Structure formats: C-alpha cells, structure tokens
Structure 1
C-alpha cells in the first residue's frame, strides 16, 4: 500500500467517525441542553468536514492535530452520563486525560471531570427567555442568526420579535431576504419563510414577529405575548440611561445596547467583567467591537506582566456609517469614500477600557484607521510592561490563555504564517492573537489582534444576554480535575 493509499484510508476512517459523532452531539444538545465544544468551538449542527477541520485546527493552538478517534471515546462516555445543561469541551477532556497519570479509564475520567453537571449537581433546564431585537441591521441580523442557531434545544433564549421602522411595500420580504443571504457571512443555515398576513418571519421553526414603530414608547410587547424579555438595541440611537429607559415598556425586563454606553450605563465585556452585573441592573451596554477585542488580551497581559501604559491602533473595516462615495458627513473625514480610501478617525475603545477594567491603572490611548475591507479588523496593542520578558514567554503564555484560562472563549490564537483578514470572517472569539506578528523587546510588547468586528462581536453580545438572563451554563472540565 502506498503513502497516498494510507492517507486516504486514514481520511475515510476519520470521516466515518465524524459522521457517527453528529447524532450523538445533536441528541445531547436537544435532549439535555448540552453543547459539545472542541477547544471552545461548538460542534453542534456542524458538518462532517467542519468537525474534521475543527479537530485539525487544534494544531494551531495545542501544537498537534487532534483526531476524532481520540475524542470519540469521550463523547460516547458523555452519552452514558446523567448530564444536565452545560457546555463540555472534548478537546480539554482529551488533553487533560493524556496528562493524567492515575490510570483511569476514559469513562472514569470523564465522569469525574464533568461531575459538576451530573446527578444531584446538574442544573435544571430553564424555561426559554424571550428576546426582542430593536433594529435589524448588520449586528441585529447576525445576533438573530445566533439566537436561532442556539434555539435548537428548546431552552435558553428565544427570539420573539424584531422592531423596525416601516419601509413600504414588501418590507418584511426584503428583511427576510437580508437575513437569508449575506454577502460576507454567507447563506443562513436553515430555512426561512415569510407570513406577510401575520407579519411574521419563520426561521428554522422560530416565529419572529415584525413590529413597526418609530418610537420605543409606542410599543406594548405584552400585546404580542412577550413577557419579561431582554431587548437588544442595535440602533445606537440612545446611549445613556435616560434614552435607553424608553425601551422599558410592558413585556421588557432588561435592555442591552450593542454600542458603548454613556454616563453610568455599565459597559460589559463578557469574560472580563460580566460577573459584576448586578441582578437588579436593567440597562447595560456590550461596549464596542474594538473594546471587546482589546480588553481580554489586555487583562491577560496585565495579570501576568503588569501594564504601565499602552496605545491601541485599530485598522478597522469600513461600516455603514461611512459614505460609499464622497458626500457630506457630520464627522471629519468619514464623508470621504469608504471603498476608495484609508480614513483616519477616532475610536472610543481606549477610553472605554477604564469602564471594563477599572483596576487597570495604566493609561491607554487609541486611534483608528478605516480601510476598504467589509469585515474583520486588527488591533495593534503596544504595551509597556512592568517587567521584562521574552517573545517566547509571551507567545507560550497567550497560547495557554487561549486554551485553558477563563478567557478562552474570548481569546483565540493562530500560528499560520500566511494568515490574512478574510481568514477570520465568522470567528466567534472577541480577538485572535497572531503569533507570527508578536513582537517583544524587554518591557515592550506589541500584540496584533484580529477580530471579526461583526460576527465575533455579536457572539459576545449573545454571551452577555445569556448571562443576564440566567441561561449561561457552566463549561466542563475545569482546568484541573
């Protein structure tokens, strides 16, 4: 048998194994509200090839490819346990099992590692929490996709309505079409139908009412059967507590803003300060995409090395706030064509760091350049550290943070030498450390952080909403059994 034959046989074996994983992953998700992960990447509703590619990607962060033949025994062991709602990382299970020297079987080790989600310890499945999207633009539609994707278990968050301004003939059909097809993020994964008579978009069985309103105070959500909902404001029209309070109408319990909040509105970066949200807080902000990209790695660096000062330069994709061709704009430079120019502009991300990391004493400055790409940006974080270090030490530290720390859902890590911005479209992490671009000289470290400023940020928004709604389930195993 030739090398080529060996490679093909190995592929067919792995392909068959991945095929057999799909029904097990789906059953755990639907029947027990368990999300199966691989190094923080969900395997729910993934294709055979996607599962194999996710396993192969592990070599970028763990140093070696992870085979489905290694993780399958752990998945089979999970199906035999009395699991409650949780997230379980097969990659972590396999990695920790290799390092364990007690001679336990896979079944014994798995039962011990996820004990917090089994038997008397398991969390009871919760009733769905209603969600309303106010605004249905770039972020609104991506958040909608994520909410629909996560509704498969029948628990957690349930998108009940979107609120938009009236747009004339076939408005609902056009909005459904924009949800169905996206020039950057591709086709919607599922089916979408429109019930014009009842003003409803049905996506993967989820009936979403389209409510037309020009003013938040004109809507009574209880008229649509919506109760105790979390409203996500994607318009950015109101940024302070007074303005956002207009959303606190009958049927709405909390308001989450997908833009930096002003005044005393808490700015929340999931993974960093989401646990500071008080149960009685009804209004909060998810800050900006750039704030979400820089704050997790900034916290990681400050925790390990101390940060004395820093500057962040964001090279940011253009947005709908800019003009396609030169035209009047209230902001300096943004009136010039977004598709033809690099445009220097301001960013509030640096000043927002203080709200998310109040214990950070370092002064952080920032600026931004908008460039002619439609999605994915990069933040260049230049830090003066409290102690000297080496590139190798920072490299290994950030890789470990991306694998095992509480920030592993926020920080990703890539070693690919030819990575470019389009490679990160669809990333669910808040930021991705580019290992090849990392620079360290004594007490100076420069981090290059990619981020999908649309989808990655939307994932962070959904995580915050899950947390404040009480449907954010714990992840197992912990970093140590």
Structure 2
C-alpha cells in the first residue's frame, strides 16, 4: 500500500469515527442539556468534517493533532453517566488523562473528572428564560442566530420576540431574509418561514414575534405571553440607566446593552468581571467589542507579569455608523467614505478598561483607525510590564491561558504564519493572540489580537445573558485557576 493509500484509509477511518460521534453529541445535548466541547469549541450540530477539523486545530496550540480515536472513549463514557446540565470538554479530558499517572481507566478517570455534573451533585434542568431583542441590526441578527442555535435542548434561552420600527410593506419578509442570508457570516443554519398575518418569524421551530414600536414605553410584553424576560438592546440609542430603564416594562426583568454603558451602568466583560454582577442588578452593559478583545489578554498579562502602563491601537473594520460615500456625519471624519479610506477615529475601549478591571493600576491609552474591511479587527496592545521576560515565556503563558484557564472561552491562540483578518470571521472568542506577530523585549511586550468585532462580540453578549439568566452551566474538567 502506498503512502497516499494509507493516508486516505486513515482519513476514511477517522470519518467513520466522527460520524459515530454525532448522534452521541446530539443526544447528550437534546436530552440532558450537555454541551460537548473540544478545547472550548462546541461540537453540537457540527458536521463530520467540522469535527475532524476541530480535532486538527489542537495541533496549533498543543503541538500535536488530537485524534478522534483518542476522544471517542471519553464521549462513549459520558453517554453512560447520569449527567446533568453542563459543558464537558473532551479535548481537556484527553489531555489531562494523558498527564495522569494513577493508572485509571478512561471510564474511571472521566467519572471522577465530571463528578460535579452527576448524581446528587448535578444541576437540575431549568425552565427556559424568555429573551427579547430590541433592534435587529448587525449584532441583533447574530445574537438571534446564536439564541436559536442554543435552543436545541429547549431548556435554555428562548428568543420570544424582536422589537423594531415599522418599515412599510413586506417589512417582516425583508427582516427574515436578512436573518436567512448574510454577506459576511453566510447562510443561516436551518430553516426560516414567516407568518405575515401574525407577524411571526419561525426559525428552526422557534416562533419569534415581531413587535412594531417606536418607543419602549408603548410595549406591554405580557400581552404576548412574555414573562420575566431579558431584553437585549442592540440599538445603542440609550446608554445610561435612565434611558435603559424605559425597557423595564411588564414582562421584562433585566436589560442588557450591547454598547458601552454610561454613568453607573456596569460594563461587563464575560470571563473577567461577570461574577461581580449583583443578583438584583436589572441594567447592565456588555461594553464594546474592542473592550472585550483587550481586557481578557490584559488580565492574563497582568496576572503573570504585572502591567505598569499600556497603549492600544485598534485597526477596526468599518461599521454602519460610517458612510458608504462622502456625506454629512456628526463626527468629523466618519462622514468620509468607509470602503475607500482609512479613517482615524476615537475608541472608548481604553477608558472602559477601568470599569471591567478596577484592580488594574496601569494607565491604558487608546486610539483607532477604521479600515476598508467589513468585519474582523485587530488590537495592537503595547505593554510595559513590571518585570523583564522573553517572547517564549509570554507565548507559553498565553497559549496555556487559551487552553486551560477560566479565560479559555475569551482568548484563542494561533500560530498560523500566514494568518489574515478573514481567517477569523466567525470566531467565537473575544480575541485571538497572533503568536507570529508577538514582540517582546525586556519589560516591553506588543501583542497583536485579532477579533471578529461582530460574531465574537455577540458570543460574549450571549455568555453574559446566560450568566444573568441562570443557564450558564459549569464546565468540566474545571479550568485551572
């Protein structure tokens, strides 16, 4: 047999194994509310090839490809356990099992590692929590996709309604079409139908009421059977407590803003300060996409090396706030054509760091340049640290953080030598460390952090909503602290 034949036979064997994993992953998710992960990447509703590619990705960060032959025994064991709602990372199970020298079987090791999700310790499945989207623009539609995707078990977040201003004839048809097809993020994964008579969009079986209103004060959500809901305001029209309080109508319990909050509105970066949210807090902000991109790496660097001062320069994709062609704009430069120019503008991300990381004593400054790409940005984080270090030490630390720490859902890591912005469209992490571009000299480190400012940020929003709704389930094996 030739090398080519041998490689192809091996590929077909791995395909067969990945195929056998799909019903096990689906059944765990559907019947027990268990999300199977591989190095923080969900395997729910993934194709055979996607499962194999996710396994291969481990080579970039762990140095060796992870095979489905290694993870299958852990998945098979999970199907035999009395599991409650949880997230279980079979990549981490395989990695920690390799490092364990006690001679346990896979079944024994797995049962021990996920003990908190079994038997008397497991969390009981909870009733779903209603969610309302106020606004249906770029972030609103991506958040909708994520909510629909995560509704598989029926016990998590339920997107019940979207609130928009009336747009004339066939308004609901056009909005459903924008949800169905996206020029950047591709086709919606599933089916979408509409009922114009009842103003309802049905996406993968989820009935979503379209409510037309020009003012939050005009909506009584209980009239639509909505109760105790979390409302996600993605319009950015109101950013202080007084304005956002307009949403606290019958049927709405909490308001989450997808823009930086002003005044005393808490700015939350999931993974960093989400555990500071008070149970009785009814209004909070998910800060900005750039704040979410820089705060987790800042925390990781400060925890290990100490940060004395820093500057962030964001090279940011253009947004709907800019003009396609030169035209009047309230900002001096944003009126100039977005797809034809690099546009110097301001960023509030640096000043927002203090709200999300109050223990960081370093002064962080920032500026931004909008560039002619439609999605994915890069933050260049220039840090003076409290001690000297090496490039190898910094990269080893950030690689480990991306794999095993509580920040592993926020920080990703790539060693791809030819990485460019479009490679990170659809990334679910808040930011991705580009190892090849990292520079370290003495006590100075310069990090290049890619981030999908649309989808990655939307994932962070969903994590915050899951946390405040009580459906953010624990992850096993538990991340190293």
TM over 0.5: yes
The offset of 1:478, in angstroms, is: 1.7
* Partner Cα distance (1:479, 1:366) in 2: 31
* Partner Cα distance (1:42, 1:480) in 2: 19
Instruction: Write the deviation string for residues 372-416 of structure 1: whole angstroms up to 9, x where unpaired.
Output: 000000000000000000000001000000000000000000000
Say if 2:74 and 2:90, in contact at 8 Å, map to a contact too. yes
The offset of 1:480, in angstroms, is: 6.5
Say if 2:217 and 2:247, in contact at 8 Å, map to a contact too. yes
**TM-score, normalised relative to structure 2:** 1.00
* Partner Cα distance (2:227, 2:420) in 1: 44
* Partner Cα distance (2:446, 2:91) in 1: 29
- 2:282 paired with 1:282: yes
Shift in alpha-carbon separation, 1:480–1:263, aligned structure 2, 3 A: closer
Say if 2:310 and 2:383, in contact at 8 Å, map to a contact too. yes
* Partner Cα distance (2:270, 2:286) in 1: 8
* Partner Cα distance (1:478, 1:237) in 2: 39
**TM-score, normalised relative to structure 1:** 1.00
* Partner Cα distance (1:73, 1:438) in 2: 37
Gaps of 5+ in 1: none
Say if 2:256 and 2:465, in contact at 8 Å, map to a contact too. yes
The offset of 1:469, in angstroms, is: 0.4
SS at 1:268 equivalent: coil
Instruction: Write the deviation string for residues 334-370 of structure 1: whole angstroms up to 9, x where unpaired.
Output: 0000000000000000000000000100000000000
* Partner Cα distance (2:60, 2:337) in 1: 37
* Partner Cα distance (2:477, 2:120) in 1: 17
SS at 1:82 equivalent: coil
* Partner Cα distance (2:395, 2:461) in 1: 28
SS at 1:52 equivalent: helix
Instruction: Write the deviation string for residues 201-234 of structure 1: whole angstroms up to 9, x where unpaired.
Output: 0000000000000000000000000000000000
* Partner Cα distance (1:263, 1:32) in 2: 41
Say if 2:406 and 2:479, in contact at 8 Å, map to a contact too. no
Partner residue of 1:202?
202
* Partner Cα distance (2:403, 2:479) in 1: 9
Say if 2:404 and 2:480, in contact at 8 Å, map to a contact too. no
SS at 1:72 equivalent: helix
- 2:245 paired with 1:245: yes
Q: 1:42-53 to 2 correspondence within 5 Å?
A: 42-53=42-53
The offset of 1:332, in angstroms, is: 1.5
Say if 2:133 and 2:231, in contact at 8 Å, map to a contact too. yes
Instruction: Write the deviation string for residues 123-154 of structure 1: whole angstroms up to 9, x where unpaired.
Output: 00000000000000000000000000000001
The offset of 1:479, in angstroms, is: 4.0
Instruction: Write the deviation string for residues 297-334 of structure 1: whole angstroms up to 9, x where unpaired.
Output: 00000000000000000000000000000000000100
Partner residue of 2:401?
401
SS at 2:151 equivalent: helix
SS at 1:427 equivalent: coil
Say if 2:156 and 2:471, in contact at 8 Å, map to a contact too. yes
SS at 2:450 equivalent: strand
Partner residue of 2:174?
174
Shift in alpha-carbon separation, 1:284–1:480, aligned structure 2, 3 A: closer
SS at 1:322 equivalent: coil
- 2:468 paired with 1:471: no
Say if 2:55 and 2:67, in contact at 8 Å, map to a contact too. yes
The offset of 1:61, in angstroms, is: 1.0
* Partner Cα distance (1:107, 1:239) in 2: 51
SS at 2:387 equivalent: strand
* Partner Cα distance (1:421, 1:64) in 2: 25
* Partner Cα distance (2:368, 2:480) in 1: 40
The offset of 1:186, in angstroms, is: 0.2
SS at 1:152 equivalent: coil
* Partner Cα distance (1:480, 1:188) in 2: 35
SS at 2:193 equivalent: strand
* Partner Cα distance (2:331, 2:315) in 1: 18
* Partner Cα distance (1:406, 1:147) in 2: 23
The offset of 1:435, in angstroms, is: 0.3
* Partner Cα distance (1:33, 1:264) in 2: 36
The offset of 1:77, in angstroms, is: 0.4
Instruction: Write the deviation string for residues 37-83 of structure 1: whole angstroms up to 9, x where unpaired.
Output: 00000000000000000000011111110001100000000000000
Say if 2:193 and 2:202, in contact at 8 Å, map to a contact too. yes
* Partner Cα distance (2:480, 2:402) in 1: 16
Partner residue of 1:60?
60
* Partner Cα distance (1:338, 1:315) in 2: 13
* Partner Cα distance (1:361, 1:102) in 2: 43
Instruction: Write the deviation string for residues 258-314 of structure 1: whole angstroms up to 9, x where unpaired.
Output: 000000000000000000000000000000000000000000000000000000000
Query: How many pairs are equivalent?
Result: 481
* Partner Cα distance (1:264, 1:332) in 2: 29
* Partner Cα distance (1:386, 1:158) in 2: 46
Shift in alpha-carbon separation, 1:386–1:480, aligned structure 2, 3 A: closer
* Partner Cα distance (1:225, 1:154) in 2: 17
* Partner Cα distance (1:332, 1:292) in 2: 26
* Partner Cα distance (1:63, 1:92) in 2: 14
